[in-house]
A and B are shown apart, each in its own frame.
Chain A
Amino acid sequence: MGAFHAMLSGIAQRITARFPDNSAVALAHYRSFKKVAFFDLAIIVDGVVADREQTIRRQQEAIRELSTPTLQVRERLLILPIIGLLDSHRAKQLTDTLLQAIRAHCAKVVVVDMTGVSTVDSKVANHLIQTVEAARLMGATAIITGLSADVAQSLVTLGVDLSRLNTMGDLQGGIEKAEQLLGYAERNTERARHLAD
């Protein structure tokens, strides 16, 4: 910008030098030149801004895709780990991802792991309940796991009715419960006991 300004003033000096006795003509020349120069400048700025916006959009898209993966751990059992801040936009996207994944994988149980979520407000909590209900309408059971002490406390303080939710302490508990629902025998705990001996 500074260089551009310096160039313009240099040109203005030269124009006034060429028309020393007729400043009105010099001014007219300078004006028409300035119009072209600013037009150029506008095109450059537009290009830079558009390029930057495109980069930002691409990165946002990438973040969005990264933020809600769905993992299939067993036949008909999905895990949905949520990490980071849950805002209402992301919560909506979570619902969409979850429901599409249920359809795509014919899932019967979905474990939503919220270990990586540090705060939940009432709006997001409501959305979570709606997601669980929608999953039920599609014939799948949703289990919420890993609600941290802070989140649990704030939800109870907010007075959000979470009695309809199926919650477990940690991801392991959630998966064990899901296996129970899917009818897997509890052989893992047997083996764990055996290994511990």
Chain B
Amino acid sequence: MSVPILKQGDVLIASVQAALTDHDLLHLKDEQANKVGYFRTRGVIIDVTALDVMDSFATRTLRNLAAMTHLRGAETIIVGIQPDVAVSLVQLGLRLEGVATALDLEEGLAWLAQPREA
């Protein structure tokens, strides 16, 4: 199942609806990378509210995605990590360093709307 990527102003929102296979994740990464350049996006939000499992591959892919987006001049924020997922990620030692996180989509949009020094 591929992830729909919605455009809202100059923000791209990828809303993950169900558990993703590794293939889906890579597809998401590629598509996101293309769209960031295509739409001149300023921010990317990845909404993982619906996910109740995140493995190391997903985490690494999301981190790579964030780094890649940064290189293309946009910022990435991951929103909606569930409590259980947060605990298991930390216990697995997957800390998502360098990636911003927020409670929900609204928070993520607010975070991207904040002015910040480059």
Chain A interfacial positions (CB closer than 8 Å to B): 95-96, 99-100, 102-103, 106-108, 130-131, 133-140
Contact = CB atoms under 8 A, between A and B. Distances in A.
Contacts of A133: 90, 95
Contact of B103 (A100, A106, A131, A134): A106
A18 B81 CA distance: 80
Interface of B: 79, 81-83, 85-87, 89-91, 95-96, 101-104, 107
Contacts, number: 51
A102 B103 contact: yes
B101 A137 contact: yes
Contacts of A100: 83
Given A95-B87, A99-B83, A100-B83, A137 B96 contact: yes
Contacts of B102: 139
Contact of A139 (B89, B90, B101): B101
Tell me which of A99, A106, A107, A134 has the highest count of chain B C-beta atoms within 10 A of its own C-beta. A134
Given A106-B103, A106-B107, A137-B86, 15 more contacts: A99-B86, A103-B83, A103-B103, A107-B103, A130-B91, A133-B90, A133-B95, A134-B83, A136-B101, A137-B81, A137-B85, A138-B83, A138-B86, A139-B103, A139-B107
A131 B86 CA distance: 9
A95 B102 CA distance: 18
Contacts of A139: 79, 81, 101-104, 107
Nearest to A136: B101
B89 A137 contact: yes
A157 to B, nearest CB: 24
A99 B85 CA distance: 10
Nearest to B79: A139
